[in-house]
Amino acid sequence: MKIHKEGKKVIPVAFFIIAVIDVIIYIFLKEYLIFYFLMAASLILAALIVYFFREPTLEVEVNENYILAPADGAIVEIGEVFEKEYFNDQRLQISIFMSPFNVHQNRTPVAGEVVYNHHKRGVYYPAFVKKSSEKNERWSTVFKMTDGTEIMSRQIAGTVAQRIVNYIKPGDKVDQGQEYGFIRFGSRVDVLLPPGTKVMAKIHTKTVGGKSILASFK
């Protein structure tokens, strides 16, 4: 396991801020009992920040018949929706909620070409509620497979997560399970599939990005 590249940007700044706060606490509160509790809390916070940006080693089992989970988390919604940003028709939506304790890398559910990649600003409802899919800040990416099938993976910011990163652009060719983005501090990812796709996952199922099977074309 290593530290994700997003963590290498954030961790030094976070540690500097924590160190400054610790110095202030030491100067003004070192003679009080609360000083020890605050110092312990700062150590725990520092450890949690490092833990959040962990990047575990992952072996992706590529299979063109399967749609893989794009994120670690828990499935909070499965059902048909009218997708009006790109497809303008009915789609099967599978939504994964990512808590602050999940790995926050996002991975491609299928291999193919990026044909749409759009960031839209919005509000910050809790990521586990249904209306966050349309109201929250989000980044929608559509992958076109070799047979012409198009799959959308939509990164959604939550109340705490207000930083979406996307590393790809239209025209890029991607492998299944390849990292394509990152969301900071708790969020949601929706996968939108063609109607009739065979769903293999269930509500509340825990997922691992790039490994767990959400659905099948056969």
Neighbouring-strand partners of residue 119: 139
Tens of pLDDT along the chain (218 residues) come to 799 999 999 999 999 999 999 999 999 998 899 999 999 999 999 999 999 999 998 889 899 999 999 999 999 999 999 999 999 999 999 999 998 889 999 999 999 999 999 999 876 566 556 665 677 789 999 999 999 999 999 999 876 656 899 999 999 999 999 999 998 776 899 999 999 999 999 999 999 999 999 999 87
Neighbouring-strand partners of residue 144: 113, 150
Residue 11's pLDDT is 95
CB 95 within 8 A of CB 133: yes
∠ CA 98-192-101, nearest 5°, is 5
Domain spans in the chain, listed from the N-terminal domain onward: 2-55, 66-216
Catalytic residue status for 187: yes
Could you tell me where the beta strands, DSSP code E, fall in 54-149? 54-55, 66-68, 73-83, 89-98, 105-107, 112-120, 138-144
- Of the candidates 133, 140, 187, 212, the residue annotated as catalytic is 187
pTM score of the predicted model:
0.88
Residue 115's pLDDT is 98
Buried b (16+ CB within 10 A) or exposed e, 87-115: eeeebbbbbbbbbeebbbbbbbbbbbebe
What dotted CATH number matches 66-216?
A: 2.70.70.10
Residue 126's pLDDT is 61
Residue 160's pLDDT is 60
